[in-house]
Chains A and B, each alone.
Chain A
Amino acid sequence: MNAFTFLRLAPAINLWQRTQQAGRTALAILWMLAGLLGGLTGWSSVATASTAQQMEQAAKGQTVYFNAWGGSPNINSYIGWVAEQVKARYGITLEHVKLTDTAEAVSRILAEKVAGKTAGGSVDLIWVNGENFATLSREGLLRTDEWAFDLPAFELTDPEALPGLVTDFALPTEGRESPWGRAQLVFGYDSAYLASPPRSAAALKDWIKANPGRFSYPRPPDFTGSSFLKQILLETTDDIARFQTPPSDDADQHLAPLFDWLDEVTPSLWRGGKTYPANYTEMVRLLGDGEVTIAFAFNPAEFSNAISQQILPDTVRSYIHEQGTLANIHFVAIPFNASAPEGAMLVADFLLSFDAQLRKANSEIWGDPTVLSFAKFNDQQKQQFNALPRGVASLSEAELSPALAEPHPDWMTLIEQKWQARFAQ
């Protein structure tokens, strides 16, 4: 089936909704049939260009409310640039609804569903991944067609080389979310206090015990804190493959190495493990004040950005563990009741386009690694990526490998529960 079939259906369905409101159902059904026919009869090559145009036509003048975390000035100004671009290219007005927590938008979509608002919702595009995607998807709060696979820019990705593009935390995306960027757990240390950082879980344990009070992690179930636990889990276990499937009766035995590790280091953590930073931003602040020597973040450019904002001293450098660190992909998704789905798809397509990904990867702007495949670039494009500036505390693509795959999400829930019971009671 042609990749654009669903794109073609999208405006059809939307138009159907609108015409139905006007009472012109018959016309709408005709329109839908036409769309279906197009998909089934291989008009495709002719139809593609025209439906892409129709899509742009439908999107023109739409206002897309993009609900995305707004706590980072770099990301905000990047989204501001995207808004300028889509305005110029498609006549779309992109409004960044700055969230403090993605839960705010999830809760709003849920409330709309409870209240029976099946169209004209307040969220058009939402920045998600992992657990939030799983929840939105399970509760039927997302648009269910495979729109993301049909975006023209998706052609530039290579899901075979990067399976995370189509499986988000072991859950198939089924085209309900479109990849935006890559995140990897990266450690940062202050070289003023530490010459050579510990590059494995075992070395980190010894270092913490030798330097009490200079390390901590955000309190699980904070996302970054839980990710750190998973990182240690994957490094201390001798059966890494076991974590790709859900836990069963033998879970305790598989988690034992992690909790032994934690039991050993906890008394030597920052504040003796009696309290933990609330989130990773607080942990980064502690690094800036010299309270801790090592911190970590889920964005490879975090430490360079923090240095340029004077949050961290310029002696901070980053590194990853020898065995590799956890990596995942973040996406954008469209809620089931979005008011401007066509506009949202065009924005998602633009976010994935070469131009937008190139700018995003620039660490002076954001420094978020691209989800596009290098192999699919032409020479000039490769050169453009290779010429990107890198911050003093940023690692190169080569230094960032290997990456560890996320364990099955049920493990995370289990680890969080056990952590609460052991360290927060």
Chain B
Amino acid sequence: MQNGVRLTILIVLIVPVLAGLAGIFLPGLGVFPLLGRSEISADAFFELFAQPGIYHAICLSLWTGIVATIISYLLAMTLLACLFGAESNRWLFRLISPLLSVPHITVAIGLMFLLQPSGWLVRAVSPALTGWDRPPNLNIVPDEYGLMLIVGLIAKELPFFVLMGLSALSQIDVRGYLASSAALGYGRLAGWFLVIQPLIARRLRLSVLIVLVFSLSVVDMAIILAPNTPPPLSVMIFHWFQDPDLMKRFVGSAAAICQLGLIILCCAGWFALSHMIGKLVIWIVGKGWRLGSPRQFRRFLMAGLLIICLLPVCLAIAGMASSLLWAFADVWRFPDFLPQKWGLGGWQVNSGLFATLVMNSLMLGLLASALSMVMAICWLELGSGHSPHSKAPNSVPAAGEFMIYLPLLVPQTAFLFGLQILLIMLKVDGVFISILWAHCLFVFPYIMLSLSEQWRQFDIRYDQCAMVLGTDRWGRFWRVKLPILGVPILISFAIGFAVSAALYLPTIFAGLGRFQTLTTEAVLLASAAGRQTLGAAAFMQMLLPLTIFIVAEGLARVRYRRFSAFRL
């Protein structure tokens, strides 16, 4: 029975993945009979590597993706090390965690409004300090080296790492370990990085992979923040699939395979690196070094680190504030600091349509997250078997679980084409269930990624206690396990909702372009000319995920406070 349920979930999720992959691999290998090619060949790859600027594009992708991941990881860990346990810093976490729910594109639009030469920062000091009565011709947003894209990614991923880190820390007796290491003569930072960090690093492996994969394949943010001579590989793939010349799809598919390869390589690289760092930590501990530093220096270091950590986050928040201003501006010319005239001219959406959009997005997001959550819990719970101590023999191969993550690893435009063909063949194109299905393909992996580590680290002794007290399996699940895991479940739910709320292409592809959500409308509005409209679009997009996140966090605080002493 258990394996039956898992197999069903797997089939529901894997069949579309296979269709999507066929839609990439067949044209990538030169097979697309309808377009007059039916023999396997590597021509598309030769063509790909003959494209002008392709190597530059690949390097740009790797550079921005890897640097953004490493920096946001390091900053998040430092932030946790500096601030964990200090009550006075609670507000800080509260400030940055909602950023997690905001779509990437919103952050990108915000950064553009804030930092570009005609942006809010320049307006703030012009013309009084700079003498500029017109925007200067400076190469920022996008800059030549993709630095803005890195900043944008950090602003989004840092909060994610912090949140994931906090929930990983809740599973560890941090105070106990720190007290022990302090007793052995280690300072707080040294103790943290030598003892606590290795413990949470293991729990954060999957989170790092999500961020790495996302940063290497991001399109929407890169179109706004990355340079375009040439653009990163992901953007190039997107353009090839948008090209009126359908033959470009062969190159696009080859590039998509290439990107998949790069992503897998980078993930392997991360594993190798973390393994080496683990060895290094053991070596340092073995040497017995205490790595002490003068108190003054440490204060200084902590303050410096804190500022560096918070800079991208503050930029993102200020950026979103400036998009809010644009959303309600009617006339706002350079170099005015505030709009000359306020108004709702940028909205261009009547209240009736707006209500429909909110309802559609809400329904789709809630259903997709709830469905994915149920599937994820079934998957995890049934996968662990009756005796969680043994690595339960498992008829569903590990490869099956890997497949679930594939929708995140391949470019959406390429992947969705195959999926669409499948939906048409099954005669379910354009119906709500298909849209829901397509959303689940992307929501489920994120929920799995954010929930599975916590779930698998659940301290089995609680379960055993309840068993000894005579509770049956269902009772233990409902009354012990779920409540203890309540906070991670709520947070994963909110993350799942945020993922669903930001999905554009899957909604369009599965819904034949007829199903409108806040995001489809926002993308449409963003293709119109005005900054006012762009601001309104950004506002519309962040509205729901932010609300859901705040509600989830509030629920977590109220409902599950009494479980807070439980360690997982």
Contact = CB atoms under 8 A, between A and B. Distances in A.
Nearest to A280: B529
B186 interface: no
Contacts of A286: 118
Nearest to A140: B34
A420 B53 contact: yes
B227 A275 contact: yes
Contact of A290 (B51, B134, B241, B512): B134
Contacts of A61: none
Interface string A101-140: 1111111101111111100001000000011101100010
Given A115-B421, A115-B425, A271 B139 contact: yes
Contacts of A213: 137
Contacts of B245: 131, 135, 413
A1 interface: no
Interface string B416-429: 01001110110001
B555 interface: no
A425 B228 contact: no
Interface string A205-223: 0000000111000010100
A98 B524 contact: yes
Interface string B493-529: 0000000000000001100111010000001110111
Given A193-B134, A275-B228, A71 B345 contact: no
Interface stretch (A4-12, A49-57, A304-312, A395-403): A304-312
A421 B246 contact: no
Contacts of B421: 111, 114-115
A278 B228 contact: yes
Contacts of B230: 420, 424-425
B423 to A, nearest CB: 8
A284 B229 CA distance: 20
Contacts, number: 167
A323 interface: no
Chain B contact residues: helix, strand, loop or mixed = loop
A291 interface: yes
Contact of A113 (B34, B512, B523): B34
Contacts of B330: 310
Contact of A313 (B51, B239, B333, B530): B333
B537 to A, nearest CB: 11
Nearest to A133: B244
B242 A97 contact: no
A417 B52 CA distance: 8
Interface in A377-425: 413, 417, 420-421, 423-425
Interface string A71-111: 11100000000000000000000010111111111111011
A100 B523 contact: yes
Interface residues of B, number: 57
A281 B529 contact: yes
A135 B528 contact: no
A290 B118 contact: yes
A54 to B, nearest CB: 29
Contact of B34 (A110, A134, A276): A110
Contacts of A263: none
Contacts of B285: none
B210 interface: no
B39 interface: no
Given A274-B139, A420-B52, A423-B229, A285 B333 contact: no
B228 A219 contact: yes
A270 B244 contact: no
Contacts of B420: 107-108, 111
A67 B513 contact: yes
Interface string A181-224: 00000000000010000000000000000001110000101000
Given A285-B529, A290-B118, A117 B424 contact: yes
Contact of A106 (B244, B334, B531): B244
Nearest to B333: A313
20 contacts: A71-B525, A97-B512, A98-B513, A103-B243, A106-B244, A114-B34, A122-B512, A212-B137, A276-B229, A285-B534, A288-B529, A289-B531, A309-B530, A310-B530, A310-B532, A420-B51, A420-B52, A420-B53, A421-B53, A423-B229
Interface of B: 34-35, 51-53, 56, 117-118, 134-135, 137-139, 142, 144, 223, 227-230, 239, 241-246, 330-331, 333-334, 345, 348, 417, 420-422, 424-425, 429-430, 508-509, 512-514, 516, 523-525, 527-532, 534
Interface of A: 65, 67, 69-73, 95, 97-108, 110-117, 122, 130-132, 134-135, 139, 193, 212-214, 219, 221, 270-276, 278-279, 281, 284-286, 288-291, 306, 309-311, 313, 413, 417, 420-421, 423-425
A-B pairs with lowest CB-CB distance, top 4 = A213-B137, A131-B244, A289-B118, A71-B527
Given A113-B34, A135-B245, 19 more contacts: A97-B512, A101-B242, A103-B242, A104-B513, A108-B512, A108-B513, A111-B417, A122-B429, A219-B228, A271-B137, A271-B138, A271-B139, A275-B228, A281-B527, A285-B530, A291-B135, A309-B529, A309-B532, A420-B52
